[in-house]
């Protein structure tokens, strides 16, 4: 019986790399996969999933109003699908998470979703909240805080290095905009609204300020 899996973490834990590896494992054995990515994330070009280590693959994009059960049903009718993989799954809607459950239950196709658990304010994304509630299997991917502890939270950075505490939940960006931290250092930086110490910043942010 197919299952719905949710692989979650903060940023820079290798979610996209894990997705690409899983897709490759299926394809290596002659099986077909469908990689889905939200149309709002075009950092590396629309219709692509790209990892930090340079691996990439083409993806089918979807919008927040798209019926994913219908999409998968139509594509699997044209050619058998053996696995559906979702990048940036935190951007799914509640309805789309339900639709992915239908993909596993009615079409018997496993779904592997990869995404962030919380946003820059420590609040759950809609997609992540319902994946955590409804997925058959949950697996945390580990990112590392500057202190060496597991990073479970994300800080959004202003241009001056301050932690941003207000704003839209969705703002696409990479290491130039976000830093993964453990809960302790998230609280220190977010609630005190202090300048994030330079030794806590990614190297590319430090170099951009020179």
Active site residues: 88
Q: How far is CA 51 from the centre of its chain?
A: 11
Task: Classify 117 as helix, strand or coil.
Answer: coil
Angle between the N-to-C axes of helices 126-134 and 94-106, in degrees from 0 to 180, rounded to the nearest 10: 30
- 135 with 4: CB under 8 angstroms? yes
Q: How far apart are CA 170 and CA 156, in angstroms?
A: 11
**Region at 44 (left for phi over 0; alpha for psi -120 to 50; beta for the rest):** alpha
Other beta carbons within 10 Å of 105 = 15
Task: Classify 201 as helix, strand or coil.
Answer: coil
68: CB partners within 8 A, 6+ apart: 36, 62, 96, 99, 100, 103
């Amino acid at each position: 019986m197919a299952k719905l899996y949710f692989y979650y973490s903060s940023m820079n834990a290798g979610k996209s790399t894990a997705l690409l590896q899983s897709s490759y494992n299926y394809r290596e054995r002659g099986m077909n996969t469908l990689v889905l990515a939200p149309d709002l994330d075009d950092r590396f070009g629309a219709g692509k999933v790209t990892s930090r280590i340079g691996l990439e693959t083409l993806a089918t994009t979807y919008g927040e109003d798209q019926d994913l059960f219908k999409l998968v049903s139509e594509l699997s009718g044209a050619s058998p699908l053996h696995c559906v993989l979702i990048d940036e799954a935190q951007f799914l809607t509640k309805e789309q998470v339900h639709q992915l459950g239908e993909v596993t239950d009615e079409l018997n196709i496993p779904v592997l979703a990869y995404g962030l658990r919380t946003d820059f304010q420590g609040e759950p994304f809609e997609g992540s909240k319902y994946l955590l509630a409804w997925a058959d299997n949950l697996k945390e991917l580990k990112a590392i805080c500057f202190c060496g502890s597991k990073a479970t939270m994300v800080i959004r950075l202003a241009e001056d290095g301050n932690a941003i505490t207000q704003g839209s939940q969705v703002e696409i960006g990479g290491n130039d905009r976000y830093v993964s931290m453990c809960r302790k250092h998230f609280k220190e930086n977010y609630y005190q609204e202090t300048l994030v110490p330079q030794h806590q910043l990614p190297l590319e942010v430090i170099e951009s300020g020179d």
